[in-house]
């Protein structure tokens, strides 16, 4: 009688950035609403919550206002990667996000659950979480849009992501390491007064 209900397929992988609406049968609305609440608590904008879960955007906006006490910022993610490129520490954490995202994709979870788990693990493991939810969600989006690509570091051989037009082959982790080490002997560099760069390494005597 009535036949079997049509299963709801939540967006996964590349489909998490598909702008088409995702239909929500009645029996999945509770799960979608719970995911929407958690995404909003973590800081996701209303537009992104609506796209990931399929709930009405008006409801997503209402959730954001109820949870945060203010309207949701417009848009779903930032428009450029400029914020990341201003800091090697941000780029290093973006590389970590990309590696974690690849692991979570293997679970075949929904798009909403993937980002929830990704952000929660990032906040647990990062000694200093520099990226908010919006920027974490933007990292895989940059790769999907083919603005960033995965490279291999010429120094440590680790995989990292970088803009496709960036000429360097050194990962942000190695760049940060070398910034505070002598390029010749590898000894830690003594701090110089702000605004002045130490000319020679106190260990090997060679120019830094």
57-70 pLDDT, tens digit each: 999 999 999 999 99
**pTM as predicted:** 0.75
Percent residues over pLDDT 90 in the chain: 58
Confidence band for 178, pLDDT divided at 50, 70 and 90: confident
Q: What's the confidence (pLDDT) of residue 172?
A: 94
Q: What count of Cα atoms within 13 Å lies in the side-chain half-sphere of residue 171?
A: 20
Q: What's the confidence (pLDDT) of residue 8?
A: 39
Q: What's the confidence (pLDDT) of residue 7?
A: 41
Q: What's the confidence (pLDDT) of residue 196?
A: 54
Each domain of the chain, given as residue ranges in start order, spans 13-68
Confidence band for 119, pLDDT divided at 50, 70 and 90: very high
User: Over 90: is that where the pLDDT of 184 sits?
Assistant: no
Mean residue pLDDT across the chain: 82
Listed range (13-22, 25-34, 142-151, 193-202) with the worst mean pLDDT: 13-22
């Amino acid at each position: 009688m009535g036949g079997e209900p049509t299963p709801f397929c939540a967006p996964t992988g590349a489909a998490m950035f598909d702008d088409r609406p995702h239909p929500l049968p009645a029996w999945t609305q509770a799960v979608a609403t719970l995911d929407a609440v958690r995404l909003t608590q973590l800081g996701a904008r209303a537009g992104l919550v609506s796209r990931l879960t399929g709930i009405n955007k008006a409801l997503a906006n209402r959730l954001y206002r109820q949870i945060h006490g203010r309207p949701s910022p417009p848009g779903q993610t930032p428009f450029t990667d400029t914020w990341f490129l201003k800091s090697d520490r941000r780029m290093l954490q973006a590389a970590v996000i990309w590696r974690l995202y690849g692991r979570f994709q293997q679970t075949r979870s929904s798009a909403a659950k993937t980002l929830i788990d990704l952000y929660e693990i990032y906040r647990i493991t990062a000694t200093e979480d520099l990226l908010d939810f919006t920027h974490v969600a933007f990292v895989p989006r940059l790769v999907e849009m083919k603005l960033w690509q995965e490279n291999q570091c010429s120094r440590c051989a680790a995989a990292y992501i970088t803009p496709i037009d960036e000429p360097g082959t050194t990962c942000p982790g190695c760049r940060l390491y070398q910034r505070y080490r002598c390029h010749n002997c590898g000894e830690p560099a003594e701090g110089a007064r702000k605004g002045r760069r130490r000319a020679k390494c106190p260990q090997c005597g060679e120019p830094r």
